[in-house]
Each structure stands twice: as structure tokens, then as C-alpha cells.
Amino acid sequence: MSWQRTIECGKLTLTHTGEKVVLNGWVNKVRTFGDLVFVDLRDRTGLIQVVIDNNDTPHLIAAANSLKPETVISLMGEVRKRRAGTENSKLSTGDVEVAAEKIEVLNEAKLLPFTLSDEEQMKQVDETLRVKYRYLDLRRPSMYQMLSLRHKAVKIIRDYMDNQGFLEIETPIISKSTPEGARDYLIPYRLQPGLFYALPQAPQQYKQLLMVAGVERYFQIARCFRDESQRSDRQPEFTQLDVEMSFITQEDVLKLMEEVSIAVVNAVSDKKMTVPFPRFTYDEAMSLYGNDKPDIRFGLTLKDIGEIASTISFHVFAEALANGGQVKAVLYPGGASLSRKELDQLTDFCKQFGAGGLATVSIGSEGMKSSISRFCEANQLAAIAEQCEAKQGDLVCIIAHANKSVVANVLSRLRLEIGQRCGLRSNDRMEFCFVIDFPLVQWNPDEKRWDAEHHPFTMPHEDNLQYIDSDPGKIRAQCYDLVCNGNESASGSIRIHNSEIQAKVFSLLGISAATQKERFGHILEAFSYGAPPHGGFAIGIDRLIMNLMDEQNIREVMAFPKVGPGYDPLMDAPSSVDSAQLKELGLEIVKTDRVNESQNE
RNA sequence: GGGGGUGUAGCUCAGUGGUUAGAGUGCCUGCCUGUCACGCAGGAAGCCGCGGGUUCAAGUCCCGUCAUCCCCGCCA
């Protein structure tokens, strides 16, 4: 008889009773009574209990007792119904077991660095160790489930886009460095030392060129590379659904973003969504939530209490308002019970984002108390409480600052913190919303110039073009984000396809004709040969999967992630290279203490 | 670039400046015929991240350093 399986472990049910089967898989766990041994055999479909009884198969008992976890075996045996009372309802195969008649060890496993069969312990195991032994970590059913869900999500996307007439087209990974945006990963060019390719931060220019090429509907499951600081939702390389369409309006793009998102969520989860996705303008989002990616799973919107604050002779409020700032508040339900120490901690929380302090009004059982009560009358506190719809037991948190963006930033983070503490950020829902009408440009005070909010090819709303000389900050762009549970899920824009408008935007951004030619000459030339109106978006697939799987860290949804600042402990990359390789590339390593140390190791 | 946390047995962790550094789990050995977190008994297993310093005495205190986790800046 061949060693090859006739059926997979997880597929066995009572209907197979009496059949002789061959199984292949890994020994998950051995429970031995000496003369009676139970082996849980695992493959990617599930677990099956194998029984070796010395009374029936004395020739197997020694081998069965010496099986090690994670050893790969082939076994032949008969499927039988479990004895009454010994069924295991936790296993899908728990009504049956296989009585082994032959066991062949295909590859014995040595002792593992961690115990795969203990899911509880695996949740605690050091991240670097798990990534170093990722091929073991991925054997766990929960990790296989992640790979499977990710595969399904991408397949749904491909099928959906195909049905809508989109072509999936690959674009180069070895490409050109772009000075804007994130730091590039560079690849030295051997044939002319001093020149470099760069890995793409996104296939942005290629997809626009495909529109010029008349493709009209492009998509790609695209790998993107950005050399930026590590975060729990960032990796040096990540995957986007990248889309571009021609002869469309913003409305067409939003519709597609919404439909494809809904298709994925419904296909792989039971999570609830509000449909159609609510929309906020950038200004509305900033006003109500203090940021451009509002978590709309809960209310607690920010209230501008500037009018009341202007009647209070508290110098912090007065100075903020006099210098063009704001006084805004957010409600903390149940926050009146916070201790003095907890309030201090909340104040420190606000200070780390730039607030000078935190003013509070609490509505406790003994009436209203406030950190600013000595500056104001009871009716002024009552007016603040009323505007914030505060009830008995609540706390109103007030931030004042001469810089509106500081008020927005601090309160948006405080709002999320409050939402977290009050249990309002449940993962059972995927609350999407669109944020539209972003500013075209943002003033960069350090460089003293206007920077593109999205990128230099973003189309302004045409009726806003009149402000291009007088008040550029007022120009709104045909630029949109899709937000899910407070995280940016997707982002895109309608692009400029008109050279006059493009020239105006370039000059606004202070990009000279010479620079335009040097940096964007190829794409500008392309646009001069008949470019259709076009636009598109990109959805961050890893973050979408994180949301779908309730994972807090992006590593958990990638097969082979990096740890720390871009280190791969499995391959031990990055690593030093042969000096001959460097010489060939015309590169010379400038010695630093750190390089010397690592070479001495 | 900055802030905070962690680093002790294979894994997860405890450890008041003072005997021979412990626990759970895993591993090894023995016993066990209905377990499925099997049970019971025994055993092996440690550069206390690394380097300095303080001290009669450092896993513990101080300085530095490395790694990792989280955050701020950064991420058109």
C-alpha cells in the first residue's frame, strides 16, 4: 500500500465508518497509557484521533509510544465510531477515530522551540521567536485560517474586479526613486555605479500611464515598499488593491470602493456594516471628530464651546481665542467618578499631544465640579455641560489652544481613548465612512511652501480654482479616503489630465519648470498624447484583513513579516554582502562604530 | 530622532542587596487500556541579554550598550 493519503484528517465523519484509510500529517499530540496510545494527527484540514491498542496491534505499540510531536507520519487504519461516551464535541471529527494498523514515520521532528499544540501559550510567545520559526508557527490552525481568509479575500477581490471588466496588470518592482513621500528602498545599478533603482511606494505613475495607454480599467494586488518607522499596523512591504479607471467621476470611484469593500467583508466575516457608507467632508470630519479618519462606531462628537468660553475670564481660554485658536470639548460618559490621580493621568495623556493642560467639568452627585470653577460662574459651567449633553456622572473634557490643529489632534485622541475605556469600539462592526473634499494643499511652515495633501496630480474641484492665487488653502480636491473603525482603509483621487491645470498646481507647489521636466517629464509627456479623465484608489489589504480578523498587529496577517525596524529573523535579512559584490556595484561602506561592532561579532 | 515597557530553564513567568535562583508548561525515565489541557512518580535542564561600576556581597542598585514591544515625530 502506498504511503499517500486517501483522505484528509479533518474530513473524516461517521459516514466513513468501516473504511480503511491512509492518512498523512503531523503528530499534534500523543497521550499514552502504555498499552493504549492516542495520537492526534493533524493536517491543514483538522485533527483526527488515532488509537493504537496493544491488544489489537502489538507490533505498533512501541513505535506509537515513541512518536514525537510534529513528526510527519503516514498511517493506515480503519475508521470506526468512537465508544459511547468518549466522543469529543470540540473536534469536528470527534465522533470517529482511526484504529491504526500501520504507521510509517516520514520525517521525525526534533524538539520544537515552542509548543504548537498549546494555543493559549502560543498567544504569549515572543514575536521574534515566532517569526524566526515562522514555518512552525504557520502550522497552527489559527495561522492557517489567517492564510486561508486572506486568500479568500483576495480571490473575492479578483473575481469582483474581473466581473466589473478590470484587467489585472503587473507593474515593475524595480523602478525609479520619487523624492516625495516616504523614504525609498534603493537598489544600486551595477552597470553605472551611482545610479539607483527604487522599490515602488505604490504603482501610482504606472497605473496612470496605463490609463493613457487606453486600458481604462486596471487593478493589481500590488506590493508596496516604504522605508519608514515601524508601527503595529505598518510593515516595510505591504499589499494594496490598486485601482485606476478612465472616463469616470468621483462618484463612480466611491461606488466601486464601497461595493468591493462590502463584497469582501460579507464573504469572509459576519461583521455588520452601515450601508451606504456615511460620508463626511474633510471639514466636517475635523469639526466633529478632530481627525480625517473618524471612528464612527460611537458618537461623543467634539463640541465647539468657544462662545461660552469667551465669556469666561480664564486666561488660557482667552489667549487661545485671541490668537485664532479654539476651545472645544468632548464628553466622557461616567468620567465624573475619576480620581484626582486618574484625572492627572488623563491630563498627561493630553499633554503628550501638545495640549497645555486639560480643563474638566464633572457632574457628580454633589453637583458640578470644575478645574476652572474659580474663573467662572455656575451658570457658565451649566451651559458647557448642557452644550455637551452631559448627564449625571459624566465628565466634560475641554482643550483650548491657539492652534486649531492641536485642539483637533488632542481631542480626537482623547475621544478614542474615552471610546476605548467605555467599551464603545467593538470589533463586531466594521463601520466604514468616506471622507471627501480634502484640501488640495497644506502649508508647510518649516519649508515655507505649499505641499500637496495627496499628490501633485490630484484634481482640484474646478470651481475652487479661483482661489489658486488668493487663498490656496481653501481649495478642495477631488480626493477621498475610505475609513473603517477609525483607520484609513483606502485612499484615492481624481487625477489632473489637463495640462493647464497641472501647470497651475505645479507652480502653486513651487515646482519649477526644470524640476517638472526632471521629475515628472515622462508622465507629463504621456499626458500630452491624449490622456483620458481618470482616477482611482488603493485599499490597504493587510489592514483590512486585520480588521476582519480582530488582529491588533499587522504581523499576524502576513505569512512572513519583519520584526523591529525591518529585520527578518527567519532569513537573517538584511545581511552583509561579499566585498566583491560591493566592488562590482561601485559601493563603499562608510565605517561607523556600529558597522565595526557587527563585523567583529 | 525622541519617550515608555520588557529581557531569569526550550516556552511563559515569579524572584525584599544576603544559603545551593524557583513555579507552571514542555522535554527525558518509569507506571498506567478510553484519553482528548489524560493522570501519578522521578529526573535533566540557567552566561539571570551583554559590558562596566557601587558594595563585604548584585538576578536585584547605578551607568552604558544590544535586542524586542508600544507610542510620538515620520508614513505625498
Encode pLDDT of A56-68 as tens digits: 999 999 999 999 9
CB A124 under 7 Å to nucleic chain B: yes
Average pLDDT, chain A: 92
Mean pLDDT on A85-111: 96
Per-residue model confidence (pLDDT) at position A601: 29
Residue pLDDT, tens place only, A288-321: 999 999 999 999 999 999 999 999 999 999 999 9
**Separation of alpha carbons A362 and A335, rounded Å:** 7
Mean pLDDT on A572-591: 89
pLDDT at A13 over 60: yes
**Separation of alpha carbons A469 and A475, rounded Å:** 10
Per-residue model confidence (pLDDT) at position A584: 93
Please report which confidence band the pLDDT of residue A545 belongs to, taking 50, 70 and 90 as the band edges. Answer: very high
Using the structure, give the distance in angstroms from the CA atom of A65 to the C1' atom of B31, rounded to a whole number.
Answer: 14
CB A33 under 7 Å to nucleic chain B: yes
Per-residue model confidence (pLDDT) at position A591: 64
**Separation of alpha carbons A495 and A210, rounded Å:** 13
Per-residue model confidence (pLDDT) at position A589: 85
* Strand B interface, A 190-209, C-beta < 7 A: 201-202, 204
CB A326 under 7 Å to nucleic chain B: no
Using the structure, give the distance in angstroms from the CA atom of A310 to the C1' atom of B4, rounded to a whole number.
Answer: 38
Please report which confidence band the pLDDT of residue A599 belongs to, taking 50, 70 and 90 as the band edges. Answer: very low
Residue pLDDT, tens place only, A124-178: 999 999 999 999 999 999 999 999 999 999 999 999 999 999 999 999 999 998 8
Nearest residue for B67, CA–C1': A564
Mean pLDDT on A311-332: 93
**Percentage, residues of chain A above pLDDT 70:** 98
Nearest residue for B76, CA–C1': A181
Structure-model confidence comparison of residues A455 and A72, the more confident one: A72
Structure-model confidence comparison of residues A41 and A338, the more confident one: A41
pLDDT at A50 over 90: yes
Cβ-contact A213, A531 below 8 angstroms: no
Using the structure, give the distance in angstroms from the CA atom of A397 to the C1' atom of B74, rounded to a whole number.
Answer: 29
* Least confident residue range of A287-301, A332-346, A382-396: A332-346
**Separation of alpha carbons A526 and A535, rounded Å:** 16
Question: DSSP per residue over A452-472, as a string?
Answer: ESS-TTBPBPGGGGGGTTT-G
Residue type, A533: P
Nucleotides of B under 7 A from a protein CB: 1, 10-13, 24-28, 31-39, 66-76
Per-residue model confidence (pLDDT) at position A181: 83
User: What are the CA-CA distances from residue A207 to residues A159, A342, A495 (Å)?
Assistant: 20, 51, 11
Please report which confidence band the pLDDT of residue A595 belongs to, taking 50, 70 and 90 as the band edges. Answer: very low
- With CA of A446 and C1' of each nucleotide, the nearest comes out as B73
0.95 surpassed by complex ipTM? no
pTM of the model: 0.92
**Separation of alpha carbons A139 and A116, rounded Å:** 8
Mean pLDDT on A387-414: 93
Using the structure, give the distance in angstroms from the CA atom of A600 to the C1' atom of B53, rounded to a whole number.
Answer: 25
Per-residue model confidence (pLDDT) at position A598: 38
**Separation of alpha carbons A462 and A551, rounded Å:** 41
**Separation of alpha carbons A329 and A322, rounded Å:** 18
Sheet with A432-436: list strands edge to edge. A167-168, A217-225, A237-246, A534-540, A487-494, A479-484, A432-436, A279-281
User: Greatest CA span in chain A, whole angstroms?
Assistant: 94
Per-residue DSSP letter, A554: G
- With CA of A33 and C1' of each nucleotide, the nearest comes out as B32
Please report which confidence band the pLDDT of residue A395 belongs to, taking 50, 70 and 90 as the band edges. Answer: very high
pLDDT at A597 over 60: no
Per-residue model confidence (pLDDT) at position A592: 56
Per-residue DSSP letter, A6: S
Please report which confidence band the pLDDT of residue A600 belongs to, taking 50, 70 and 90 as the band edges. Answer: very low
Per-residue model confidence (pLDDT) at position A47: 96
Mean pLDDT on A362-383: 90
Q: Are strands A186-188 and A196-198 parallel, antiparallel or unpaired?
A: antiparallel
User: What's the burial of A285, exposed, middle or buried (CB within 10 Å: 0-12/13-18/19+)?
Assistant: buried
Mean pLDDT on A269-293: 95
Task: Please identify which residue in the block is written with the cell numbers 474633510.
Answer: A282
Residue pLDDT, tens place only, A451-500: 888 888 999 999 999 999 899 999 999 999 999 999 999 999 999 998 88
Structure-model confidence comparison of residues A355 and A25, the more confident one: A25
Per-residue DSSP letter, A374: G
Which residues neighbour A51 within 8 Å (Cβ) at sequence distance 6 or greater?
A36, A37, A38, A39, A97, A98, A99, A100
* Strand B interface, A 168-187, C-beta < 7 A: 178, 180-183
Residue pLDDT, tens place only, A555-570: 999 999 999 889 999 9
**CA angle, residues A432, A435, A437, in degrees to nearest 5:** 160
Mean pLDDT on A549-557: 94
CB A247 under 7 Å to nucleic chain B: no
CB A600 under 7 Å to nucleic chain B: no
Task: Please identify which residue in the block is written with the cell numbers 486561508.
Answer: A148
Per-residue model confidence (pLDDT) at position A1: 67
Peptide bond before A532: cis, by omega within 30 degrees of 0? Answer: no
